[in-house]
Amino acid sequence: MSPQKCKLIELPKILDHRGNLTFMESSRHIPFEIKRVYYLYDVPGGALRGGHAHLNLSQFIIAASGSFTVHTDNVHQKEDFYLNRSYYGLYIPTMTWREIDNFSSGSVCLVLASEFYDADDYIRDYDEFKQIASKSKK
């Protein structure tokens, strides 16, 4: 079974001279039911966030403000995504290693998650991730 791929998804954008509006809905624009939302901000220059994979959780990442780069790896394919538009989001399926860096000043990284927080769902060691992912993708 081949692994799911990360993909950019364009969100609805309503243009208005007073300011634009973008919205998203569970299972309509986001390919899962949203169970948790969090955001990263005030990330110091040169910092790396992420550095893990999830066994069961999928994510949808949006550059709500500013920009950053998301590096993904599902063992079969590595891809880099530069997020800098608040009406695009990056879907990251389960068993995908992700690292986020290159944060612009004042950036906000908004993350929608398919599951509630569970420390046991994290794989924080890259070599362990590669072993688990290689076995589960056969």
CA distance 66 to 109: 8
Alpha carbon 90 to its chain centroid, in Å, reads: 5
Catalytic hit among 52, 54, 71, 76: 52
3-state per-residue secondary structure call for 32-97? CCCCEEEEEECCCCCCCEEEEEECCCCEEEEEEECCEEEEEECCCCEEEEEECCCCEEEEECCCCE
The residue assigned the tokens 């624009």 is: 29
**Beta bridge mates, 53:** 123
Q: Using CA atoms, how far apart are residues 74 and 51, in angstroms rounded to an integer? A: 13
52 included as an active-site residue? yes
Indicate which residues carry an active-site annotation.
52
